[in-house]
């Protein structure tokens, strides 16, 4: 069972049962995560500072329920996929978006 990750400022997993360890890549860099997590959770826990940029400004999830699209990333080539609604799959390729 993974521990709460004590990091300052960023998101942390709480002590809890989780799924099997898995790995996705975010902009080519490997990010460890657990089966059953959403891509948003994996990215927040890894401290990814921006899921996308709008007009040069960084953005991360706002609503976590599929209504704001601030968490949109490119998943396996499909742009503007909502990471808060997408469950990780081992080997998934995620790219943050620039614009």
Cα angle vertex 89, ends 87, 93, to 5°?
100
Under rule CB under 6 A, residue 73 binds ligand FES: no
- Residue 99 C-beta: closest distance to ligand FES, Å: 17
The reply on whether position 12 binds ligand FES by CB under 6 A is: no
- Number of residues written out for the chain: 99
Cα 83 to Cα 40, 65, 92: the distances in Å are: 5, 10, 12
- Closer CB to other proteins, 24 or 86, in the complex: 86
Q: Can residue 96 be called a binding residue for other proteins (CB under 8 A)?
A: no
Non-local (6+) Cβ contacts of 68 within 8 A are: 61, 62
- Residues near other proteins, by CB under 8 A: 4, 7-20, 34-38, 41, 44-45, 49-50, 54-55, 57-70, 72, 75, 77-81, 84-87, 99
């Amino acid at each position: 069972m993974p521990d709460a990750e004590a990091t300052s400022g960023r998101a942390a997993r709480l002590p809890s049962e989780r799924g099997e360890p898995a790995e996705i890549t975010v902009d080519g860099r490997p990010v460890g995560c657990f089966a059953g997590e959403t891509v948003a959770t994996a990215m927040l826990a890894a401290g990814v500072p921006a899921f996308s940029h709008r007009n040069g400004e960084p953005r991360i999830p706002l609503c976590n329920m599929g209504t704001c699209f601030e968490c949109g990333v490119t998943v396996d080539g499909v742009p503007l996929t909502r990471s808060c609604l997408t469950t990780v799959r081992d080997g998934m390729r995620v790219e943050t978006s620039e614009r």
